[in-house]
A = this chain, B = another copy of it.
Amino acid sequence: MAREMIRQGGRSARIQEEVHKAVNALLKTRDRSEITVPMVAELAGVTPSTLYRRWGDLSQLLADVAVAHMRPIGEPEDTGNMQHDIETFIVQYAEEMSSKVGRQMLADIIGSGGGSATVKCCGFTYLHLETLNHRALARGEAGFSVDDAVDVVVAPVIYHILFEDREPTPDYCRERVERLFQR
């Protein structure tokens, strides 16, 4: 029984890997509006019904692939100072998310109409900020409220990227961080 479970987990993970690979390969050669579930299924070597059962529809699948790209690959940079750590994080984040690829990932995640992709996506941001806060406290700094940092720093940067009303420049990012520590 335990072995069965492990084998099933393995197969499930393997399907996910093949399907993600297929989506990424298709996105390299085609416009996303041309991609269909049967196309992904054929390339991944699974049936379309496997995809529908697991992901619901194409937009959920694209969101899942986008979230996988958002997963941070390492610890946030340690600059030795809390405010500077947050600045470094948000300047990089704004740069990445306002790139063509970043915008497309956000569109895929939000365009899926909610569900686990959006929660996972901002979960990465919370984790990242929590790491910075723990690090600050360990250094003997005062620390900061992660919720406040999301409201004052992250949310406006993401808003301007999504609605394209204003460039989230490095200077703008640093102004937001200053505002976080203004009380």
Contacts of A176 in B (CB 8 A): 151
Within 8 A of B (CB), among A136-183: 147, 150-152, 154-156, 158-160, 162-166, 176
Check if A114 sits within 8 Å of B164, measured CB to CB: yes
Q: Which of B114, B150, B151, B166 contacts A103 (CB 8 A)?
A: B114
Q: Which of B56, B121, B159 contacts A150 (CB 8 A)?
A: B159
Residues of B within 8 A of A165 (CB): 119, 122-123, 126, 150
> Is B122 within 8 A of A163, CB to CB?
yes
Q: What's the least CB distance linking A65 to chain B, in Å?
A: 14
Inter-chain contact A121/B163, CB cutoff 8 Å: yes
A111 interface neighbour in B108, B123, B155, B160, Cβ under 8 Å = B108
Residues of B within 8 A of A108 (CB): 111
Given contacts A33-B59, A112-B111, contact A151 B162 (CB under 8 A): no
Closest chain B residue to A111, Cβ basis = B111
Q: Does A22 contact B (CB under 8 A)?
A: no
Determine whether the beta carbon of B164 is less than 8 Å from that of A155: no
A38 within 8 A of B: no
A183 CB to nearest B CB, Å: 8
Sorted nearest first, the 8 A-B pairs with minimum C-beta distance are A111-B111, A155-B159, A122-B163, A33-B57, A151-B156, A155-B156, A107-B113, A155-B155
Question: Can you offer 19 A-B residue contacts whose CB atoms are under 8 A?
Answer: A33-B56, A104-B113, A106-B110, A107-B113, A108-B111, A110-B110, A110-B162, A111-B111, A118-B163, A119-B163, A119-B164, A122-B159, A122-B163, A122-B164, A152-B152, A155-B156, A155-B158, A158-B159, A159-B159
